């Protein structure tokens, strides 16, 4: 019996031209991977400011910097979070701290 991976994606709009793009992959309701990306729209130019994901098998946040040509300049690891917990944490964190993360992105 083949298991089907369900993929859901949606946007959450925040003040000041920010949005959070969520992508969630599940099998039988269990999270198997995700990405949660903070995006800033600067006059039609969309920039990825920071992102949480699980691509290394562990919840982590990629810290990006504009001066570093949008390169990953650091990774913050959350090894104690289950994938479902990490997904929820990422959405809450980006929703609350988007302005701080953008300020850091702008200065690095």
The residue with greater pLDDT, 55 or 2, is 55
Q: What local confidence, expressed as pLDDT, does residue 1 receive? A: 56
Decide if 91 contacts 12 (C-beta within 8 A). Answer: yes
Decide if 91 contacts 20 (C-beta within 8 A). Answer: yes
How do the domains of the chain map onto residue ranges? 5-107
pLDDT single digits (tens) 27-56: 999 999 999 999 999 888 999 999 999 998
pTM metric for this prediction: 0.92
Structure tokens at 38: 């903070």
pLDDT single digits (tens) 57-78: 899 999 999 887 768 999 999 9
């Amino acid at each position: 019996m083949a298991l089907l991976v369900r993929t859901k994606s949606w946007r959450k709009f925040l003040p000041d031209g920010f949005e959070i793009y969520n992508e969630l992959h599940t099998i039988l309701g269990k999270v198997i991977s995700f990405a949660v990306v903070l995006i800033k729209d600067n006059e039609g130019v969309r920039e990825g400011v920071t992102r949480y994901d699980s691509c290394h098998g562990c919840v982590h946040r990629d810290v990006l910097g504009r001066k570093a040509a949008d390169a990953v300049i650091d990774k913050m690891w959350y090894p104690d979070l289950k994938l479902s917990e990490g997904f929820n944490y990422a959405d809450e964190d980006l929703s609350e701290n988007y302005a701080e993360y953008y300020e850091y992105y702008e200065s690095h």
